Structure 1
Amino acid sequence: MSRANALSRTEDDAPTDVLVIGGGIIGLAVAWRTAQRGLRVAVVDPAPGGGAARVAAGMLAPVTELQYGEEPLLRLGMASNERYAAFTAELTELTGLDTGYRVTGTLAVALDADDKAELSELHAFHQRLGLASDWLSGREARRLEPMLAPGVRGGLLVTGDHQVDGRRLAAALVRACELSGVLLHRAEAVELLVEDDRATGVRLGTGERLLAARTVLAAGARSHLLPGLPPGVLPAIRPVKGQILRLRIPAAYRPFLSRNVRAVVRGGHLYLVPRADGELVVGATTEEQGHDTTVTAGGVYELLRDAHELVPGITELPLVETGAGLRPGSPDNAPLLGPTALPGLVAATGHYRNGVLLTPVTGDLLAEYLADGTLPERAAPFSPDRFALRSLV
């Protein structure tokens, strides 16, 4: 048996071309799209469909999330957003499961003069980049969303930003993987296997060894912590805690909000995402607290306080759930996509605030690389090697 064939088989002789470590929405999308290319794929995760997406609000907002200096990430996000309608329609057709994808748009608003000046500057930046966003007066913003506070000074309407339900999306991706022949190993990967300076698979907590021709590391905020990973192959992926609230909009209050609403309140970013089923998601804090996912009274208080300032009627709604998750942040807050310095190991991690948004494009780009061996040009700015190159410079 050749070395290539040996690497494509597990110890029990089950063939595996690609092994994905991590069953969040990124890992599942990569696995599903790769299996569609005809490769034999397996996923390792104790609870496929879990991860940060179960906590995320699911805003698909490449334009209103834009930060200065992030134009390559903007283009990647816009490309992914453009794929979302077809991506979710394909998932629903295959699985029969609704993903909660909605074409809603986003209204970003300013609550005081300083916020208005910042939002106006962002609008000018959008115009320089040729992005579609419309400036609104405070009165025009309140006409669109009557529940907004009377003091709203202005707004920025982006009709191209939308939303999806991360939990429903994850469930649909799990089912799509199952229907597409992806093997789901519901166990923990406890060690990356490396032989002759090449990644060859993983060892599970059960003691079982899974071998594969290529291994995709999609373990979110814990990606760089996998035992056996040689130093320097991946930069540190820092966990950034986000607390989030879920409220219920009674039928008598609907429509409470018609679109995603976001603002900067006391220097912190706040967003409200109304679901078609009456759920209202409010998020999210940004906390550098390591891997802690404790929901705190302070975090809940801050979100409710700021949300009340933006939409006063929100305090009348039932609070049904609180939660906290970990965003996987890379050193430049952009994802790591493609082959690493360790042959056989491919990265699909570091998506930070954009994991849900970038799921379709990540799945497509990685599947193309895994099937054809050539990294698509769109993924080039996000190569894991960019950090090693910076250190050399």
Structure 2
Amino acid sequence: MITIAGAGVAGLASAYELAKRGAEVTIYEAGSSPADNPSSWFAGGMLAPWCEGEVADPQVVRLGAGAINWWAQFTPVTRNGTLVLTPPRDRAELDRFARRTEHHRWVDAGEIATLEPALEGRFQRGLLFEDEAHLDPRRALMDLTRTVQGLGVEIRYATPAPDQVDVDCRGMASDLPGLRSIRGEMAVIEAPDVQISRTLRLLHPRIPLYLVPRGDDIYMIGATMVESASWKPVTVRSLLELLGAAFTLHPALGEASVIETGAGLRPAFIDNIPRLKQRGETTHVNGLYRHGYLLAPALAGQLARQFFQESQDETACERRTA
């Protein structure tokens, strides 16, 4: 039997890849439900590997490219791309973003209006990443939970992990040396007066914003990445910045109802590249930074290949030892 600590996205993805190869798997989860994993529960749900290339290592882009098809096995995935925009005064930001990324094409005001009629007349040009996608991370987490349970995985909620487990996927709770916490904050809004069908990224020198549709006039907005280990709720300053940037995207978002706010601590190594890391008899799957849903499938696959001694691509996530 293989034991896993943590039933967030990394733990569940690892359990799936192990169980589908025939392993008997037990997950220990200190929380009482999937909602008790803030980093997974408050995620944006963007499957946008090429956009992430703006700031991420090329390895992140390469590993994330397979996430869309992986998630589509279990949960609905909306495959209509990412539209990157910027206010007219910040057009240089869009040029810079284009230089640092690939797998996109330029769109003009007319095509922006065709793609998203609500934005007609508001933006003169943008970048369309046609092959990117998004999902509802909460539904995805629940769907993946049901899938692994269907494969025979036992999830012991409200049960702290024993001192010795085979795989540790607990993020910051693992106390793994070399990790730092990146605080991410988000808001969920209801905006019946604005109809957006795909992920929007609004570039801004001070607070870039992403808006992800969740269906039924519900949108998740986020942007903040703060080096902090604080678990306190979303600050007034961060919320004002998020909502102010959303208002720049479309004035009608100023009339939206804020129905939820939240914050989570994302574990990251100094280079922001996730990896498998061996400490004693335990393999840690950690450091997913802001790429949990994007990179958990690739790391889980590498973990399973390691356990079953399957051949693997030498360019996959590097396995590093403590």
- Unaligned runs of 5+ residues in structure 2 are none
Q: Does 1:248 align with 2:190?
A: yes
Q: Which residue of structure 2 lines up, in the alignment, with residue 383 of structure 1? A: 319
Normalised TM-score (structure 2): 0.90
2:248 and 2:120 map into 1 onto residues whose CA distance is: 7
User: Any idea what the Cα deviations from partners look like across 1:4-41, whole Å, max 9, x if unmatched?
Assistant: xxxxxxxxxxxx2x111111011011112211211111
Q: 1:125 to 1:242 in 2, by over 3 A?
A: closer
Q: Which residue of structure 2 lines up, in the alignment, with residue 204 of structure 1? A: none
Q: Which residue of structure 2 lines up, in the alignment, with residue 36 of structure 1? A: 20
Identify which of 179, 184, 189 aligns with 1:237: 179
Q: 1:375 to 1:292 in 2, by over 3 A?
A: farther
Secondary structure in 1 matching 2:14: helix
- Which amino acid counterpart does residue 352 of structure 1 have in structure 2? Y
**Match runs of 1:154-233 below 5 Å:** 154-189=125-160, 192-193=163-164, 201=165, 215-223=166-174, 225=175
> Does the aligned pair in 1 maintain the 2:189–2:220 contact within 8 Å?
yes
> Does the aligned pair in 2 maintain the 1:149–1:310 contact within 8 Å?
no
Q: Does 1:328 align with 2:303?
A: no
Q: 1:239 to 1:125 in 2, by over 3 A?
A: closer
Secondary structure in 1 matching 2:49: coil
Q: Does 1:316 align with 2:255?
A: yes
Identify which of 206, 231, 243 aligns with 1:267: 206
Normalised TM-score (structure 1): 0.75
Q: Does 1:121 align with 2:105?
A: no
2:219 and 2:312 map into 1 onto residues whose CA distance is: 37
1:326 and 1:125 map into 2 onto residues whose CA distance is: 27
1:61 deviation in Å? 0.6
> Does the aligned pair in 1 maintain the 2:14–2:304 contact within 8 Å?
yes
Q: Does 1:80 align with 2:80?
A: no
> Does the aligned pair in 2 maintain the 1:57–1:273 contact within 8 Å?
yes
2:69 and 2:207 map into 1 onto residues whose CA distance is: 28
The number of residue pairs the alignment matches comes to 319
- Which amino acid counterpart does residue 276 of structure 1 have in structure 2? G
- Which amino acid counterpart does residue 285 of structure 2 have in structure 1? A
1:191 deviation in Å? 6.0
2:61 and 2:257 map into 1 onto residues whose CA distance is: 36
> Does the aligned pair in 2 maintain the 1:333–1:350 contact within 8 Å?
yes
Secondary structure in 1 matching 2:67: helix
> Does the aligned pair in 1 maintain the 2:275–2:299 contact within 8 Å?
no
> Does the aligned pair in 2 maintain the 1:102–1:164 contact within 8 Å?
yes
What percent of counterpart residues are identical? 31
Identify which of 49, 61, 71 aligns with 2:34: 49
